[in-house]
Amino acid sequence: MGNNNKTIYIETYGCQMNVVDSETVMAIMTAEGFGRADDALGADVVLLNTCSIREGAEQRIWHRLDELAAQKRRRPGMVLGLIGCMAERLAERIVAERPAVDIVAGPDAYRSLPMLVGEAFTGGGRGVNVELSKEETYAEISPVRLDPAGVSAFVAIMRGCNNFCSYCVVPYTRGRERSRDPETIVREARELFDAGYREVTLLGQNVNSYSHEEVDFPELLRRVAAISSLLRVRFATSHPKDISDRLLETMAATPNICRAIHLPAQSGSSHVLERMNRRYTREWYLERISAIRRAMPDAAISTDIIAGFSGETPEDHAATLSLMREVGYQFAFMFKYSEREGTRAAQTMPDDVPDEVKTARLEEIIALQNELSLDSNHRDVGREFEILVEGTSKRSADKVFGRTSQNKVVIVPRDDLRPGDYVRVRITDCSSATLQGEII
Ligand code: SAM
Ligand code: SF4
């Protein structure tokens, strides 16, 4: 291919899945002879791996694209590409409105990137591939880790989504759900362990519906956890409608599967949940929370919440706050509803909660979550945990940070600890975001 001296830089926006996708693209491109650049400034190829989940995410990318277009005017040889969800969703508009963009490739088109880039270099015109696939899982490609000295890595176990939550653009930008061959997943996790990684997070939009021939998600988890008791296994995301007792039993029986479950509620009102097409009620959700607590009393539970969805009344909002209190989340990602073109909500449900009301509700939700996180952290003071050390504390070179199985960050004196070490600690103090500890 003659790419030996060419370098590539990938800038990643949005979710954890996009992190893995960028690493997969890097694997595809380095196999073709491209080298990795550390920033966009000198790179021959610059790709933005994009996110469409909310309007704000897309706005940031349009803005960044303008900066890179200005850079390209100074360096006309540079190839600029947009990949990922926004490329999938807005290919035509990008081509029409941004002449500086050479390549537009959707999430299932990454194997064609070397060809598209090659054509762009040889003046072959602008390359667009936004075809979605029913089969593509990039199964046999081992992603090139962007943090090679890391402790923790993401492993994609499936792609796409079939759930069609009425507000969500993902099923349109990432296509139908498909599960990756379990053997390739276990092999990749084993390679990571052998390379020094001590934690893998198995990723999918709804991991509970993972299914490949006879292997379901609990079985896959069991196989990955069996690689070594020193390998921590996490996963995201669980859809509440599908979180099964068998999964909880598997977790409870396997100490190196982490005691943390991310279970996005989105709303505490059954009325809103129905309009969101989440296919569970508040009561169902709370029953699943009880099931988690029965199986693993020490498990931490986190969530996603959307404020101000179509038709959300003050009572619905109050129900969300009461759900949050009832569950006592350790952590939450919290968003204002952002209408996305093409979704069922955009077509049939008015975006009728005024922006200032959305903002006020979101602020209440965030304030409550800060209280709940602080309460949860206070309860840990005096308790003992094993943490996996990840790196040096941002605030002090004399300290390191690591995580508990419950995914809480703990800061401890450095001693002679190194990333990847396990150490037992006692919690001595906390804020709403972190725990302080001493080594025992
Ligand atoms: N598949 C996962 C799930 O169902 O929980 C995560 C999907 S999405 C990448 C992450 C979160 O973004 C969702 O859980 C939801 O809270 C939020 N989200 C999705 N669409 C949104 C929208 N239109 N407006 C605001 N937040 C949205
Ligand atoms: Fe979007 Fe719902 Fe699929 Fe999550 S489960 S990606 S929120 S459609």
Pocket test for ligand 2, best of 17, 158, 163 (most atoms within 8 A of CB): 163
What is the pLDDT at residue 4? 63
Predicted pLDDT of residue 399? 97
Assign 3-class secondary structure to 188-224: HHHHHHHCCCCEEEEECCCHHHCEECCEEHHHHHHHH
* pLDDT confidence of residue 146: 81
Question: Residues with Cβ < 8 Å from 262, sequence gap 6 or more?
Answer: 236, 237, 238, 301, 302, 303, 304
- Residue 147: the pLDDT is 76
Which tokens go with 390?
A: 């990840």
DSSP string, 211-273: EETTEEHHHHHHHHHTT-TTSEEEEE---GGG--HHHHHHHHH-TTB-SEEE---B-S-HHHH
- Under 8 Å between Cβ of 57 and 90: no
Rounded distance from Cα 66 to ligand 1 centre (Å):
27
pTM to 2 decimal places? 0.96
Residue 427: which H helix or E strand, with range? strand 422-430
The per-residue pLDDT for range 243-300, each reduced to its tens digit, is 999 999 999 999 999 999 999 999 999 999 999 999 999 999 999 999 999 999 999 9
Positions of the chain with pLDDT under 70: 1-4, 148
Q: Is 267 in the pocket of ligand 2 (CB under 6 A)?
A: no
Atom index in ligand 1 nearest the CA of residue 204 equals 1
Residues having CB within 6 Å of any atom of ligand 1:
15, 53-54, 167-168, 170, 205-206, 237, 239, 264, 266, 304, 306, 335, 337-338, 340
Residue type at 353 in one-letter notation = V
d(CA 373, CA 386): 20
- Considering every ligand atom shown, identify the ligand nearest to the alpha carbon of residue 53 and give its number: 1
- Protein residue whose Cα sits closest to atom 2 of ligand 2: 165
Q: Round to whole Å and give the CA distance between 255 and 262.
A: 18
User: Residues 389, 402: contact at Cβ < 8 Å?
Assistant: yes
Burial class of residue 38 (count of CB atoms within 10 Å of its CB; 0-12, 13-18, 19+): exposed
Q: How many CB atoms lie within 10 A of CB 188?
A: 22
Say how many Å lie between the CA of residue 57 and the centre of ligand 2.
17
Distance CA 386, CA 265 (A): 29
Ligand 1 atom at minimal distance to the Cα of residue 165: 4
Measure the CA–CA gap between 404 and 330, rounded to whole angstroms: 13
Q: Report the separation in Å between the CA atom of 334 and the middle of ligand 1, taken as the mean of its atom positions.
A: 9
* Structure tokens given for 205: 């939009």
Could you tell me which residues come within 8 angstroms of residue 421 by beta carbon, excluding any fewer than 6 positions away? 388, 389
Question: Which of 20, 50, 164, 168 is the best mutation target for the ligand 1 pocket, counting ligand atoms within 8 Å of the beta carbon and taking the most?
Answer: 168
Cα 261 to ligand 2 centre (Å): 17
Residue nearest to atom 15 of ligand 1 (CA): 304
CA of 165 to the centre of ligand 1 (A): 9
